[in-house]
Amino acid sequence: MNIHASPASLPELDEFLATFQVRFRRPEGEAALERYLTGLLTELPNKNCDTMAEAVPGTSEQRLQELLTNMQWDEQDLNRQRVEKMIVEATVGQGVLIFDDTGFAKQGKASVGVARQYSGTLGKVGNCQVAVTCCYSDPQASWPVAVRLSLPQEWTEAPERCLQARVPAAVTFQTKPQIALAL
């Protein structure tokens, strides 16, 4: 991925991204990814496309939203590159896989998987999304291995809602332990 320095770019982020060859089908994908990740690294209390576009020069809410919803890249190839990097840079052996669920508080109901459900992050039942994560951890570093959104049963029982949110028809309800085993 050849990230061209953009307004207020972070040299460390540019260096990190340069180790990956993300193949976007459209050229603006590279810049949008860099701007989105820059936004995630800010200290904004609420990170969404609108607030990040206001804080990060050289982008817009529309461009960031386009990255998240419509831009396509080879996810499997990118994950392969990430794991190769992890093996070379972080694996010293004696590692473990750590599975956990992480909640993301949400106000509305339109984001995929949002429902009133228990979130350890919130410490209570609340309106949120929940993802099941798998990380590799050894004495040198911790690396994300995989993550998958936990889609509540109320979502999988509402095909119109899933269609509107672009959830693939093949996605079915799975418990968190089932998702962890699949990861």
What's the pLDDT tens digit per position in 12-46?
A: 888 888 888 887 777 788 889 899 999 999 999 88
Contacts of 88 (CB under 8 A, 6+ apart): none
CA distance 177 to 119: 15
CA distance 122 to 105: 7
Beta strands in 77-159 (DSSP E): 96-105, 115-119, 124-137, 142-150
Residue 109 confidence class, pLDDT cut points 50, 70, 90 = confident
CA distance 106 to 112: 10
pTM: 0.70
**What φ, ψ does residue 127 adopt, rounded to 5°?**
-75, 115
31 compared with 5, residue with greater pLDDT: 31
Residue 91 confidence class, pLDDT cut points 50, 70, 90 = low
